[in-house]
Amino acid sequence: MVDSNKWGMVVDVDRCTGCQGCVVACQSENNIPINLEEHFNQRRAIQWIRIERYWEGEYPDVKARFIPIMCQHCGNAPCEPVCPVYATYHNNEGLNVQVYNRCIGTRFCANGCPYHVRFFNFWEPEWPESLKNQLNPDVTVRSRGIMEKCSFCVQRIQRSTRESERDNEVLEDGDRGLNPACVNACASNALIFGNFNDPDSTVSKMKEDAMQEGGRGYRLMENLGTDTNVIYLKKVDGSVEVTHGY
């Protein structure tokens, strides 16, 4: 048991098959509005987690590479200081929190974020009548004009913390109730969620192993000094260089 939690994730790019299971799971867990083709064309689609696809090599020896990207929950987040109303801040559990009630929709944070993981609600979200009852009651439906982003499924963290307190149990590492929806949905265990402050947790061990000299670990855009809470493990076959992608 540790005094304070620092939630984080390890993403093993070597295991990712690009199946988009995490994207779908996130979409349904977090009441994310349905992205239509026109929304993508306008670059206004909302995807808290997305799979970026890169092509490696020249035809006929082409390989598709995938990398899941979600909010990195930066320890030194570029989105936080630019918010004029403190709608986004860092809480003591290492989460970069978005407070919907405070947000006035300046979109400064989205411009500040180098990972492109903050999304603005350009429209009032709409669901077809048949899908109205599938909305998750534990998550707010965001209205038009405010920012949203990955919350590491904070509703699940809150629920499992509360339930472990109720039953006098220790919050288990890798508990399915605690894990974000994307982690549970990942078929190849490419995403692992846990507490970095707990030295016995899977993520702490993986981080320690990966970040040492010669390890596979890296952070996205590490040179920016954002001190992210998401650690990526690079692909084992790293012989081919990325030539182009989108």
Partner 1 sequence: MIPGDFQPQKPTGTQLAKLGVLGVVLLGVFIGIVLVLTFVISSWLGRPVIFGHDGPEQPIEFPHETHVKELGMDCTFCHRNVEKEAAASVPALGLCMTCHSAVGDELEGITKMRSLYEDGRSIHWVRVHRVPDHVHFVHEAHIRYFSEKEGVEAKAVCATCHGEVAGMDKVRQNRALKMGDCVNCHKQNNAPTDCVTCHY
Least separation in angstroms between CB 97 and partner 1: 5
How is 161-193 classified by DSSP, letter by letter? HHHHHHTT-PPPTT-TTTS-HHHHH-TT--EEE
From the list 141, 134, 130, 175, the residue with the least C-alpha distance to 156 is: 175
The CA-CA-CA angle for residues 189, 190, 191, to 5°, reads 90
Residue 138 near partner 1 by CB under 8 A: yes
User: Closer to partner 1 at the Cβ: 90 or 107?
Assistant: 90
Residue 91 near partner 1 by CB under 8 A: yes
CA dist., res. 70 & res. 67, Å (int) = 10
CA dist., res. 198 & res. 220, Å (int) = 23
User: Closer to partner 1 at the Cβ: 9 or 206?
Assistant: 9
Residue 97 near partner 1 by CB under 8 A: yes
Binding residues among 15-74 for partner 1 as defined by CB under 8 A:
none
Least separation in angstroms between CB 208 and partner 1: 28
Which of 5, 151, 179, 229 is the binder for partner 1 (CB under 8 A)? 151
- What one-character DSSP code corresponds to residue 115? T
Q: Residue 237: is it exposed, middle or buried by C-beta count within 10 angstroms (0-12/13-18/19+)?
A: exposed
Exposure string of 14-43, with b = 16+ CB inside 10 Å and e = fewer, is ebbeeebbbbebbbebbbbbeeeeeeeeee
Site size with partner 1, rule: CB under 8 A: 18
Q: Write down the number of H helices and E strands in the chain.
A: 6, 11
User: Closer to partner 1 at the Cβ: 26 or 206?
Assistant: 26
User: Closer to partner 1 at the Cβ: 21 or 33?
Assistant: 33
Residue 154 near partner 1 by CB under 8 A: yes
User: Closer to partner 1 at the Cβ: 18 or 75?
Assistant: 75
Task: Give the range of 64-72, 73-81, 158-166, 168-176 binding partner 1 by CB under 8 A.
Answer: 158-166
Task: Give the range of 5-13, 16-24, 135-143, 170-178 binding partner 1 by CB under 8 A.
Answer: 135-143
Residues binding partner 1 (CB under 8 A): 89, 91-92, 95, 97, 99-101, 138-140, 151, 154-155, 158, 162, 165-166
